[in-house]
A and B are shown apart, each in its own frame.
Chain A
Amino acid sequence: MHDQPVHTTDRARVAALLAGDADAFGDLVDEHHPTMLRVARWYVSNDQVAEEVTQETWLAILDGLATFEGRSSLKTWMFRILANRARTRAKREGRSVPMSALDGGNDEPLDADRFDERGFWRTPPERWSTDPESLTADRELASRVMSAIDDLPERQRTVLVLRDVEGWSSEEVRNALDLSETNQRVLLHRARAKVRAAIAPQLERVR
């Protein structure tokens, strides 16, 4: 969303890394490693391979640091390296990413029976009476949201987490995951609709 014309912070970070600042590297790992595993897992068949790819990627990032010019953000640059390595690994494994890229593509549209044959509401959504402010302060609700996310099909979950939890732009997600605009949008929408449906019973009861 926000433009970052000059990646000064990134350049400072890269300079620190090149100077051997281990804490700067540790912070970078803390910040990105879990998301890197998530993105690697998008391409490869299991967690262990994702872990291997991510470890290799860190070394590739270190080896490439001196060539980082700040034309993209450090994050974009890092995830480009990760996606390339994960793609290569997936190919070696004989895993065809595009074929599976839209899982949930065949799942039933959510709430299909809530609409009549013309597509108008048969069972309209019950009103949520809570105001947004108190909603976001509700911890029990937050944990419901988390378990709803855990229950999502994997690819929908990955897109939702990157977009809405990590705050990535649609372009960043499309690049890291090799997704078309349409597929990204469909996966994100399905994920959000499922989370909405999962928390609805609780919010309809709050009155």
Chain B
Amino acid sequence: MTDHPHHPLSCRQLTEHSSAFLEGTLGDEIWGSFKDHLERCPPCAEYVRQMGMTVELVRRLPGDRGTCARAELVDRFRKWRSGGG
């Protein structure tokens, strides 16, 4: 399973490109060897699947919203308005 010396990409190199692969920004020059490796190497396929799930989990988190700065800034906004901009 971990012995496939003919792949031009090592497992380690594949993992380093996994993020770009998931984004669809993998360079043409390694696309072929990446896909080839992925199809033959279950551990790497699992790693890529896990990275995809990780990204999905991060994407579901609520973003930074709301702030105690609102009241103060709205106040400044009103002053900015009345100052004629």
Binding site for B on A (CB under 8 A): 20, 22, 25-26, 29-31, 33-35, 38, 55, 58-59, 62-63, 66, 109, 111, 115-116, 118-122, 124-125, 127-128, 132, 135-136, 141-142, 145-146, 149, 160-161, 164-167, 170, 185, 188-189, 192-193, 195-196, 199-200, 203
Whether B58 pairs with A192 at a CB distance below 8 angstroms is yes
Task: Write the nearest CB–CB distance from A78 to chain B, whole angstroms.
Answer: 13
Task: Write the nearest CB–CB distance from B49 to chain A, whole angstroms.
Answer: 8
Interface of B is mostly: helix
Q: Mark B71-84, 1 if CB is under 8 A from A, else 0.
A: 00110111011000
Chain B residues closer than 8 Å to A59, beta-carbon distance:
76, 80
Query: Number of contacting residues on B, CB 8 A?
Result: 48
Whether B19 pairs with A185 at a CB distance below 8 angstroms is yes
Whether A118 pairs with B5 at a CB distance below 8 angstroms is yes
Contact of A120 among B10, B51, B60 (CB under 8 A): B10
Binding site for A on B (CB under 8 A): 1-5, 10-13, 15-16, 18-20, 23, 25, 42-44, 46-47, 49-51, 53-61, 63-67, 69-70, 73-74, 76-78, 80-81, 85
